[in-house]
Every structure is written in structure tokens, then in C-alpha cells.
Amino acid sequence: MSTVIEQEAPAGVAGGRERPAYKVTGARVLRSEWAKLWSLRSTWITLGLALVFVIAFGLISLAHYKSALDGGGHLDPDLKTATAADLSLFGVNFGQLALGVLGVLVTAGEYSTGMIRSTLAAVPKRLPVLWSKAAVYGVVAFVVALVGVFAAFVFGHGIVSGTPAAVSLSDPGVVRALFGAALYLALVGVIAVSLGALLRSVAGGISVLVASLMLIPGLADLLPSSWRDDVTQVLPSNAGGSMFAVHHAAGTLSPGTGLLVLLGWTVLALAGAAYRLMRTDA
């Protein structure tokens, strides 16, 4: 009589085959963050709203200019020198809010649900998570913004055809302004991701973002005139505005300098988020 002895498979072996050892790599962390971003319904809704804001408000601005011009109404001083590119980018001010809110949710949302603990357990070094979130969302925001600004200009430049504001893509500064607007919105998204990771609060991150982009520039006008201009032009929203201005106005930053200033704010926000991520527990 023979005896059959079944040996228990060693740990890590299933069905006699050894399980593959998965390593945490930058590419895998990126794919993970990409999958998490698109798994949320809020992503689709908010990106759709951002696209609608950029296009719709751009077209409304162009239609308002055309209506005021045809009706013989009074044009604001800014509108008298505006081009179709300037008018079509009016929606950027509204699109930045939608993209900024979603950027905060990308990071702060995980802290509010506790999912960040699982994420950091899978990626113990932590910083690749932050870099991947910022990179993925920055690219997505740039693509959405680029589609929006070009759509607003292409669909809307015919509205002001035959007026002093009429320009085409071949005119100097137009394509640069459209790409500058898309890059500005992408960097706003990265700053929002950083604020969400730094503050770990959806309400706090959105509040700081809105204050930085909309409230502080208005309050800066109360500063003494001797150094007001030096302060206001380096604020994130004003530096970004110089990136997508078709014509460089006196007293404002050049597009290249505005980009460098905004990149500085972005690096500062990322550095603060990285410091807290490494120094404190989730």
C-alpha cells in the first residue's frame, strides 16, 4: 500500500507556479494615478465644465464686442485695443476655477476618504505619488485647455470678422497666446494638486487657490503706489495673464518672464507639498 503525501506549496507560490515579483516603478505609479483620475465621475464632469467655460465665455465675449460695435455703444478702453484672440480667451478666468477645484480634489480627496493610506502603502517612498499626480493632471489639464482655447478662437473669430479686432492664427502672437493660455491653466492645475497635498483639505485647498487667483490681486491694489506694480505683476494670476497676452503692455511682464514667475510659484507649491508628505503621516 502506497501513501501519497501532498506537499504544501511554499509561500508566494500558487498552483505550483511562482508569483511574479512586481516592482514599484515610475511608469507603474503614473499608470495607477491615470486610472484613479479617470475612475472618478467628478473628473469627467469638472473637465467638461472647464471646457464649456473656456469656449462659452470666449464666444460670449466676442459676441458682446460685436454687438457693442454694431450698436454704436460705448466700448471700454480695454476693448478698443482688444483682438479676437484676447476676447476668445476671456473664458480662461472661469476655466481656471473648474480645473483648480478638480486639481485640489485629486490629492485632498484621497486624504478625506482615507484612500491615501493604501496609496502610500503601495508606494512607500511617497514622493513618486506626488510627482505622478501632478504630471498626470497637468498633462490632462493642458490638453483640455488647449482644445478649449483653440475651439473658442476658431469658432469665434468669424464673429468679429471685418472689425478692428479681427485676427487670424497666422498673425503675430496669436498662436503663442493660445498655447500660453493652455500652459497657464495646466500650471494652475499643478498648483491646485500641490495645495491639496499640502493642506490635505478640500475646502482649505479650494479657498487658498481662489484667494490666490482672484482675491489677493484685488487687495493688492490697496498697496502704496510706489511698489504696488512690482508686487501685483508677480502674483500668479497676473504673471499667467502676461503669458497669453497677444501684445505686451507697458508695466506688465513679458510672456517669457511671466512663465518663469508662474513656474516659480508652481515649484514653491510642489516643494511645500513634498516637504509635508515626507515629514508627516497621512
pLDDT digits (tens, 9 = 90+) for 220-242: 878 777 777 788 889 999 999 99
Q: Which amino acid would we find at residue 267?
A: V
Residue 1 has pLDDT above 70, yes or no: no
Residue whose grid cell is 508662474: 262
Higher-scoring residue by pLDDT: 234, 78: 234
Farthest CA pair distance, the chain: 109
Query: What is residue 225's predicted lDDT score, i.e. its pLDDT?
Result: 74
Grid coordinates representing 102? 478638480
Q: Where are the domains of the chain?
A: 25-279
Q: How far apart are CA 34 and CA 117, in angstroms?
A: 18
3-state secondary structure 9-58: CCCCEECCEECCCCCCCHHHHHHHHHHHHHCCHHHHHHHHHHHHHHHHHH
pTM, whole model, 2 decimals?
0.88
